[in-house]
Amino acid sequence: MDIRDKVRAFINQITILTQEEKNVIVEETIIEEPEKGTILLRQGQVPKRCFTVLEGCVREYTITNGEEKTTGFFIEGDKITPHTYDGTGDPSNHFLECLEDCVLTISDKNFEKRLLELLPRIVEVMPAFALEELKRAKAEWTKFVTSSPEERYMHLMETCPSLFNRVAHHQIASYLGMQPQSLSRIRKRVFHKEKRNSNGSVST
């Protein structure tokens, strides 16, 4: 699939846009292909760009007292809006690092201004889309912070199983809020539980 086709597939999910508006956005979209290891944003920098992942995986993390803490992973179809990308000039609390060779769409203030010039109606329709994204993110965060470590692991396995083949074990453990040894124990416990259930279902 051509890169522009992937952009189109993502934009087509925004049902409140007309087909003409979608075509304009696809043509105007800026695309970059950073290599694995590229730092898109550093802690302390003022964020000036947002991203959408078309291919690859990006990790969000922070460093406190010399220790890394992974706070998010973004894969195909995910939008990345740094927490302080709000025009206030506040520095980022996080790093954004490409864990794989990536293909990303890029949005900045100039791009947003250009779209407003071409599509004035964006001012009316995009806040509704942004609100839906905010609600989804808040629901995900609430579920995460109220879950046990094993529940967090199971949820990640259900919603994004490919991460376990793409991301370092210790980074996943950090994201789930546990030590790598704890993650190993949970994985073994879940594996044996599923094996027992599978054997039980066969025997009946």
Per-residue pLDDT tens over the stretch 50-82 = 999 999 999 999 999 999 999 999 999 898 988
For residue 139, tell me if it sits in a domain.
no
Which single residue is written with the structure tokens 């039980």?
Answer: 200
Indicate whether 202 and 166 sit together in one domain: yes
Residue 26 structural domain:
3-122
Query: What's residue 3's pLDDT?
Result: 87
Indicate whether 19 and 94 sit together in one domain: yes
Indicate whether 27 and 107 sit together in one domain: yes
Could you give the number of structural domains in the chain?
2
For residue 54, tell me if it sits in a domain.
yes
Measure the CA–CA gap between 80 and 145, rounded to whole angstroms: 20
Indicate whether 24 and 113 sit together in one domain: yes
Indicate whether 37 and 72 sit together in one domain: yes
Q: Which helix (H) or strand (E) holds 7?
A: helix 3-11
- Residue 60 has phi, psi (to 5 degrees) of -105, 130
For residue 137, tell me if it sits in a domain.
no
For residue 127, tell me if it sits in a domain.
no
For residue 133, tell me if it sits in a domain.
no
By C-alpha distance, which of 91, 71, 56, 68 is closest to 140? Answer: 71
For residue 134, tell me if it sits in a domain.
no
Q: Which residue has the higher pLDDT, 91 or 149?
A: 91
Indicate whether 96 and 163 sit together in one domain: no
The whole-number average pLDDT for the span 36-50 is: 95
Indicate whether 164 and 75 sit together in one domain: no
For residue 58, tell me if it sits in a domain.
yes
Rounded to two decimals, the pTM is 0.86
